[in-house]
Structure 1
Amino acid sequence: MTSFIQDVIDDLVTKEVNFSDLVFILPSRRAGVFLRRTLSFTLNQTIFAPKIISIESFVEELSDLKATTNTELLFEFYNVYITLTPEKERETFEAFTKWAQIILQDFNEIDRYLIPQKKIFDYLKAIKNLEHWSLQPDKTELVSSYLKFWNKLNDYYNAFTQSLILKKQGYQGLLYRQAYNNSQEYIKNTDKHHVFLGFNALNQAEENIIQQLLQNNLATIYWDTDKQFMNNKIHDAGLFLRQHKKKWNYFNDHNFNWINNHYTSKKNISVFGVPKNIGQAKAIGTILQDISKTDSTLKNTAVVLGDENLLIPVLNSVPESVSTLNITMGFPLKTIPLASLFEHIFTLQKKNTTPFYYKDVISILSHQYIQPLFKNDNAIKLIALINKNNLVYLTEEQLTALSNDDKSLLSLLLSNWNNDAKTALKHCFSLINIIKEHLTEDKDKNQLGLEYLYRFNTLFNEILRLNQDYNHIKDIKGLYSIYKELLSSETLDFQGEPLQGLQIMGMLESRVLDFETIIISNVNEGILPSGKTNNSFIPFDVKIENKLPTYKEKDAVYTYHFYHLLQRAKNVYILYNTEIDTLIGGEKSRFINQLELEGTHQITHKILTPKVPNHNKQLITVAKTDSVISQLKEIARKGFSPSSLTSYVRNPIDFYYQKLLGISNLEEVEETIAANTLGTVVHNTLETLYIPFIGQTLNVDNIKSLIPKIDALITSFFKEEYKEGDMTKGKNLIVFEIAKRYVLNFLNLEIEALKNGDVIKIIALEAKVENVKININTLPFPIQLRGTVDRIDECNGVIRIIDYKTGKVDQSKVSVINWDDLLSDYTKYSKSFQVLMYVYMLLKDKKINLPVEAGIISFKNLSAGFIPFVKKESSHDRNKDTSITQDTINEFEIQLKNLILEIFDKDQDFIEKEL
């Protein structure tokens, strides 16, 4: 394959030009590297190197202005804005930046295309006046302000550009306009010959400058296109070049160099539909692996990323067989871990409220750059304390009180910036210095981290410089807006050999370059091409009228780049995302459809899916070793509780984790009161209320006297269980009120029962039953049971064993038909098992005599009252006999012993249940 650059050099050699007197002008700087290499290989003599520059550098030189950053332009523009706007009508800097970005883009387009400024601004002003019926005398304040804005656009533009020119600065469009204004003077004073190569879409300033140089015999221009695109009047890849050939007077007398015929040469084109971005990255890795088997150097292979966010996944997918590669794009600073730290800190401070929300605080304390700064793992301990004490909202004082060793660090991280930008910058620099001191302790290990830190230090220094020069940033939101603006444009550049190995680049960096093997990712509508994006104040019809580019021209630019990559390539791999994205769509690009419809090349189209192993889920199994049996014996010695045995029924693995390994649920802040906390509070409140009446027969006045105490007790127990959690608002307030309502409703139920003639005597509350032995002949070691019964009372002469449930329970959950089912279904029979076990233990402990009743009081089903356990013969059995007799206990004992035997059965592993 002969590259376009090689063709240009060969043509110039044929013409016997003096290369030392040439100025090569290219679309990008990167192409200049390849041009230098081609020159060194082609010329067989020693010469002074020609000048090789990008079009932007050439224009900057010609304009006598220095290109400045978008951020600095915003500051300079705000200077102009406050000068021309009365103080009462001025917006804050943060609000200004929202619309000023768009205005700057429009200024840029107007200047690049040499549009008379006053003409277009007057035109826009007239349109807006018509749209808002400005001739009406009674305009609202909003409409008046809106129209003033459009009336001032020309003033803004003139003052802004004059200010920049005085400072010898400019945005890209202003540089182009000034370069065009200076072009005649430049032509008079130069004897250099300019070689333009590889251009396609040119703005009006570029067109005029190049044509002037051509007509004065000071330039030669080489186009890189194909007759397949030029001869097809509707093919967008040739849209601009057809226009240049037709409209430039220079081509009336000179050849249009060159229209080649490379596109129709034989090519292997494969189109792969791949789900998601990561899938594409993995597919690229597989393609590179296959290519490297035949071409180990990959020196003529390029990966072109339609979406540059795919860079890191692709780098992680490059196979080990690829020894050298060069990355032309930078690593976005916004994606590195340090960016997330400052994002968390700004999120905390932007709210400008104290106390701080616990999630904001934990996100900072747990950050990988912050945790090591604390002494003795204090960051982890602080997070644990926040979780344990339910500190949903925290103050700096609370945290420093919890960690005396790290007061200065906590103050730096969490002290309120008081919405002051200077204070914020001071804190950011201090934090960077502290992190730097920590990282330099092991400099060799932390080189990358130090590089990240240096770039952020540079970024904040730039913000500090701009604010010292202009003093526009007054608050945290304004600071954050500029920080994000700078962060979005900053990159961490890779170092590599640009002329060796695999090339990874963005679409725009591929201009002028040719490769034999091309891999293009993200060839989807909305990415390639980008579609109908219009971030401009200038309406579509006004753009057409003034010959400004619209989305149609922008699509044509990407069409040219796409087809240029294919022109000289032999092997082409095109990848697109098959998954629909809610923002940018999911269908494959029109470029792929066009390739298929053209019929010029045979195209292989495949849908790739990741290999998903067809593994059946392996249920966790734990063997009962001697060590496990020993632990079980220890648990048996202390006593099995009803909840521990039912947890085994629900899932043996949970029993193993919780009871044998001692693994408890992760402790987190209860931002909203949890169900178990509500249950504990209700239980404790009822116990406290009824304690004075143990051993007494209740009467209505007893119960009524308890009602005024509900509020204070509920509050007290919530504080005990919920620690520092806030119960005064939101869902927590609702749960708090529900707890009070549960207790009140229960007392009212009790009053109703007493009024109806029930005689109720409290026997015990929260009765602990311990050291209840159960003899199992086949187990030669003691088995004990233990538990706590919520309430034992006597109602109309019948002893009742009562278990409180804050959830909903109905009669079906406290009924048994077949005793063998008792251990089979946790959801259906766990309540029955628990209440029967309470009866069994109390009977063994000789605290009750049969017959008794046992059941549930459900606070979500209080209308049902006491729901007793019932043994039924069938599902249709209407048995109302709620007495628990010795026969019932005997049947239960069989099931209980079977369960314990199963737990101790060495041949029956702990096997996870599919829930």
Structure 2
Amino acid sequence: MQTKQELIVFPTSRAIREYILINKQNNSLLPFFLTADEFFKKSFYFDNRKLIDEEQKFLFLKEAIKFDEFKNLGISSNFTQFLKQSDYIFRFFTEITSEKVSINDIKNVDTYEFYEEHLEVLKKVKYNYEQILENNGYIDRVNEHKYSKLNKEFLDKFSHIQFNFEGYFTKVEFDKIRQISKNTNLIINLYTNEYNKKSYEIFENINLKLEEDFFYSLDISNKKILKKQKLDKKLDSFTIKGFASRVTQIAYIKTAIAESIKKAIEPSNIVLILPDENFANRLRLFDDEGYFNYAMGLDVKNSYTYKILYTISSYISEKNLKNSDAINFFDINKEFMEFINNNYNKKITKEGFEYICECLILWENNKELKEKLNELFYKLNNLFFTYKSEILYKELIRVLLQRVSSISLDDVNSGKITVMGLLESRAINFDTVIICDFNETYIPKASLKDKFLSTKVKEFAKLPTLKDRENLQKYYYKRLIQNCKNLYVSYVSNDSSTISRFASELFELKAEQSLQDNSYKHILYNKNSLKHFDKQIVKQIDLSKLTWSATSLKTYLQCKRKFYLQYILRLKEHEITLKPKGYELGDIIHKILYEYYESSFDSFERLEALFTKYANKNPFLTLELEVWKKRIKDFYINEQQRVSKIQILHKEMPFNLTYQDIKIKGVIDRVDKDNENFLVIDYKTSSSLKVDTLKNYVKSSDFQLEFYYIALQNIYKTSDIQSYYYDLNSAKLLKEVALNEKLDLLREIFQDLKTKSVDFEKCEDKATCNFCFYKTICNR
């Protein structure tokens, strides 16, 4: 006869691995291990019923919501939206079933009838869903209690069962525990503190009264306490630090690791707890030493498949330059993109779905991800084509992106220090515990289960409340703290982040600490100070040999140092964004007016259409161009009155000539003729346009209209020329009243350019530097 084994149940498979690792040196037969979830699944069976999978659950629920009142719940019935939001409903149904609470029970305690309409809808959804399960022979959490039977054949294999309890038993789970204990000797090991009172009070149902801050070993079968041990504090050292930057916490984490190693702590006995597991992505960027292994696996967002789907999804949403460039950057198959472009607004077909899946599998090189993609595509194939979905290809891409983003890959190149989320740390002891991001944003962690009901109603209905969930999180954190020798905690403190309210309860906090970024950031970043160029620049150069535009002359007169950097060294501004520069709006409006007058001055509708055309070409300027579309109306009205009296001779007329032995160049926006007078016009979109007067022209640096005047005089050999700024904001022509005086001043300036040596000094007026892209070099 085969000897019966001991069965030990742990909350997670990670806890099982840690237990085996610690006990592998023992020269004895290892017991049988299961996680709590596996234990409950194997301990019960269901006669002639199939356990439902996630995809089938969704299909049945989609069928169950087919009634008009469902829209009152505020959840979209659209296929892709419902795919995201259906989890709210499943969690609600699971919770009330697990706690043996009916929707009628909730309605009875909802004395103010705040939720009556929603509860009626949910009651109907639940009834429909259960009927569909019944008709198709499936089991889900909502109906398993009707068919659940104890699996004695499985339980009889074990001499006794040790259940390491960390967390909370629902009423249904505790009923199962009692059933199991009647068949097989069942021992539950648990810890108590002030935060899990609701969890251990359930044992009073079998006359076992427990106290706070003890370890208990309970014989559930015989309803007696086998062991009661007072919990000792093991903590030798505790440090908590605040940082303004979230990333600087990584330097603190590395310091904590180094200090622990110096204390002779084994790296495998150090754990980093991430309240927000996405922080692992940033951590990996700075893990040059290869310290870490990631219990949550590696983020799939760095994979080629995810990047491809993200790029295509972005391109479908907005076909702008950035997304088009991304398509080219990833060199996405042209045939594939043609298929997407031709079909993205059409309903999916089985053939089209399979084509997309085959391409994604073909392009992916990671073997593990290929396997997981094949599994995902198989499930989605059943989901989409068992149910007659109305899903479009563009929605399919979003669904694929959503589902692929939830895949995690095994961390095969692992370090010795474990990185994990809070729940994964249950029933595991570490000598050093490091917790980062101890912020209100992440601790306590929000739950989807509180979507439909208020805390008060849940309390009256005897459902777990928000406070119960928060207390459970505090329990997990306190268990971590109780079992470690060294504790390091960090949090972020800035305009958008504050330390969690849990901190004052869990830790012995001293007075408010100063932020520690400057003490740690050198660990991540080299201390390279920016060196500014302050030396005098004197060059032997004859500026009269250069070709000048009005813009380059204005730069020279405002700041000789900027002129040297821009026009002599030709240092260009670093392009770090696709967003337009300040001058680009004016350039586009100049192009629109040129194109408008190039055909003829006709309807305002054609002028408006040109604004729409250019807005589509440059989506970053859509809002500004829409504003200008309205603003240009006054200009159009003013031009209607002028255009019959004048002749438009030139538009965007280039010139290149010699004046005072110096070459000048430019492009005149417009030349009109009014009787015998030539009118030089320069369009201006700036709202702060100022025209020089006879009082202030001496300080002027803008000689654009003077350049235009000289060019036109050179072409037409006449002095009957008037120069105007066309202020497009006010739709008014503003005359250059100091034209002759500024021409005299320009001649003097050109004489000064005829020199052999120039001191390219910085400007005195620092207001000029505000929008200069060389101000960093000049330390302004």
Specify the TM-score bucket, using the shorter chain as the normaliser. Answer: 0.7 to 0.9
Mapped pair 1:162 → 2:90: no
CA separation of 1:553 and 1:218: change in aligned 2, threshold 3 A: same
Q: Hey, what does 1:419 align to over in structure 2?
A: 346
Q: Hey, what does 2:214 align to over in structure 1?
A: none
1:218-237 aligned within 5 A: 218-225=185-192, 229=193, 235-237=194-196
Alpha-carbon contact 2:237-2:487 (below 8 Å) kept:
yes
Residue from 345, 348, 357 that aligns with 1:429: 357
SS of alignment partner, residue 271 of structure 1 = strand
Mapped pair 1:645 → 2:553: yes
Structure 1 CA distance for aligned equivalents of residues 352 and 436 of structure 2: 41
Q: Hey, what does 1:77 align to over in structure 2?
A: 61
Residue from 592, 595, 614 that aligns with 2:503: 592
Mapped pair 1:54 → 2:35: yes
State the Cα distance separating 1:51 from its structure 2 match.
0.6
Structure 2 CA distance for aligned equivalents of residues 316 and 735 of structure 1: 45
Letter in 2 for 1:221: I
**What do residues 375-431 of structure 1 show as CA deviations (whole Å, max 9, x unaligned)?**
xxxxxxxxxxxxxxxxxxxxxxxxxxxxxxx5x344134222443132652442253
Mapped pair 1:748 → 2:708: no
Q: TM-score, normalised by structure 2?
A: 0.77
Alpha-carbon contact 2:361-2:373 (below 8 Å) kept:
no
Residue from 321, 330, 338 that aligns with 2:305: 338
State the Cα distance separating 1:512 from its structure 2 match.
0.8
Letter in 2 for 1:512: A
Alpha-carbon contact 1:94-1:477 (below 8 Å) kept:
no
Letter in 2 for 1:784: K
Q: Hey, what does 2:417 align to over in structure 1?
A: 502
State the Cα distance separating 1:105 from its structure 2 match.
1.4
SS of alignment partner, residue 372 of structure 1 = coil
Residue from 283, 290, 294 that aligns with 1:327: 294
Letter in 2 for 1:103: I
Alpha-carbon contact 1:270-1:572 (below 8 Å) kept:
yes
Runs of 5+ unmatched residues, structure 2:
209-218, 772-780
CA separation of 1:426 and 1:552: change in aligned 2, threshold 3 A: same
Alpha-carbon contact 1:524-1:588 (below 8 Å) kept:
yes
Q: Hey, what does 1:908 align to over in structure 2?
A: 760
**What do residues 461-494 of structure 1 show as CA deviations (whole Å, max 9, x unaligned)?**
3201333444446445774675466345422222
Q: Hey, what does 1:772 align to over in structure 2?
A: 658
Q: Hey, what does 1:366 align to over in structure 2?
A: 326
Structure 2 CA distance for aligned equivalents of residues 900 and 24 of structure 1: 94
Q: Hey, what does 1:13 align to over in structure 2?
A: none
Letter in 1 for 2:105: Y
Q: Hey, what does 2:237 align to over in structure 1?
A: 268
1:624-773 aligned within 5 A: 636=546, 639-649=547-557, 653=562, 657=566, 661=570, 674-682=585-593, 709=602, 735=628, 741-742=634-635, 744-746=637-639, 748=641, 769-773=655-659
Alpha-carbon contact 2:271-2:417 (below 8 Å) kept:
yes
1:873-912 aligned within 5 A: 884=740, 889-899=743-753, 901=755, 905=757, 908=760
State the Cα distance separating 1:342 from its structure 2 match.
2.0
SS of alignment partner, residue 307 of structure 1 = coil
Structure 2 CA distance for aligned equivalents of residues 477 and 712 of structure 1: 34
Alpha-carbon contact 1:26-1:54 (below 8 Å) kept:
yes
CA separation of 1:288 and 1:894: change in aligned 2, threshold 3 A: farther
Structure 2 CA distance for aligned equivalents of residues 481 and 763 of structure 1: 55
Letter in 2 for 1:742: F
**What do residues 479-515 of structure 1 show as CA deviations (whole Å, max 9, x unaligned)?**
4675466345422222366xx7211111011111111
Letter in 1 for 2:200: L
State the Cα distance separating 1:905 from its structure 2 match.
4.3
SS of alignment partner, residue 19 of structure 2 = helix
Mapped pair 1:254 → 2:215: no
How many residues are matched? 736
Structure 2 CA distance for aligned equivalents of residues 723 and 73 of structure 1: 43
Mapped pair 1:492 → 2:388: no
Q: Hey, what does 1:149 align to over in structure 2?
A: 121
State the Cα distance separating 1:554 from its structure 2 match.
1.1
Alpha-carbon contact 1:814-1:867 (below 8 Å) kept:
no
Alpha-carbon contact 1:746-1:859 (below 8 Å) kept:
no
**What do residues 689-713 of structure 1 show as CA deviations (whole Å, max 9, x unaligned)?**
8xxxxxxxxxxxxxxxxxx657699
SS of alignment partner, residue 257 of structure 1 = strand
Mapped pair 1:847 → 2:717: yes
Q: Hey, what does 2:269 align to over in structure 1?
A: 300
State the Cα distance separating 1:538 from its structure 2 match.
5.2
Q: Hey, what does 1:394 align to over in structure 2?
A: none
Structure 1 CA distance for aligned equivalents of residues 452 and 690 of structure 2: 68
Alpha-carbon contact 1:763-1:792 (below 8 Å) kept:
yes
Residue from 91, 94, 115 that aligns with 1:108: 94
SS of alignment partner, residue 418 of structure 2 = strand
1:188-227 aligned within 5 A: 189-214=156-181, 218-225=185-192
Letter in 2 for 1:23: L
Q: Hey, what does 2:199 align to over in structure 1?
A: 240
SS of alignment partner, residue 222 of structure 1 = strand
Structure 2 CA distance for aligned equivalents of residues 710 and 659 of structure 1: 46
Structure 2 CA distance for aligned equivalents of residues 85 and 750 of structure 1: 63
State the Cα distance separating 1:21 from its structure 2 match.
1.6
SS of alignment partner, residue 587 of structure 2 = helix
CA separation of 1:454 and 1:26: change in aligned 2, threshold 3 A: closer
Alpha-carbon contact 1:63-1:178 (below 8 Å) kept:
no
SS of alignment partner, residue 450 of structure 2 = coil
Structure 1 CA distance for aligned equivalents of residues 387 and 689 of structure 2: 76
**What do residues 340-386 of structure 1 show as CA deviations (whole Å, max 9, x unaligned)?**
4324434665x7xxxxx532x75255147x63346xxxxxxxxxxxx
Letter in 2 for 1:53: L
Alpha-carbon contact 1:307-1:527 (below 8 Å) kept:
yes
Alpha-carbon contact 1:187-1:213 (below 8 Å) kept:
no
Q: Hey, what does 2:705 align to over in structure 1?
A: 835
1:304-323 aligned within 5 A: 304-320=273-289, 322=290
Letter in 2 for 1:774: Q
Runs of 5+ unmatched residues, structure 1:
1-17, 135-142, 230-234, 352-356, 375-405, 437-446, 690-707, 755-759, 776-782, 823-828, 871-881
Residue from 44, 55, 62 that aligns with 2:27: 44
Structure 1 CA distance for aligned equivalents of residues 656 and 154 of structure 2: 104
State the Cα distance separating 1:270 from its structure 2 match.
1.2
Structure 2 CA distance for aligned equivalents of residues 83 and 859 of structure 1: 57
Alpha-carbon contact 1:237-1:563 (below 8 Å) kept:
no
CA separation of 1:33 and 1:463: change in aligned 2, threshold 3 A: same
Alpha-carbon contact 2:348-2:393 (below 8 Å) kept:
yes
Q: Hey, what does 1:548 align to over in structure 2?
A: 463
SS of alignment partner, residue 236 of structure 1 = coil
**What do residues 704-760 of structure 1 show as CA deviations (whole Å, max 9, x unaligned)?**
xxxx6576996999899999899xx99757746755752541463588xx8xxxxx9
Residue from 651, 654, 663 that aligns with 1:784: 663
Structure 1 CA distance for aligned equivalents of residues 297 and 748 of structure 2: 72
**What do residues 751-801 of structure 1 show as CA deviations (whole Å, max 9, x unaligned)?**
8xx8xxxxx9999887765331534xxxxxxx422345566789899x776
Q: TM-score, normalised by structure 1?
A: 0.67
Alpha-carbon contact 1:24-1:52 (below 8 Å) kept:
yes
CA separation of 1:480 and 1:85: change in aligned 2, threshold 3 A: farther
Alpha-carbon contact 2:155-2:183 (below 8 Å) kept:
no
Q: Hey, what does 1:869 align to over in structure 2?
A: 737
State the Cα distance separating 1:24 from its structure 2 match.
0.5
Mapped pair 1:512 → 2:464: no
Alpha-carbon contact 1:373-1:435 (below 8 Å) kept:
no
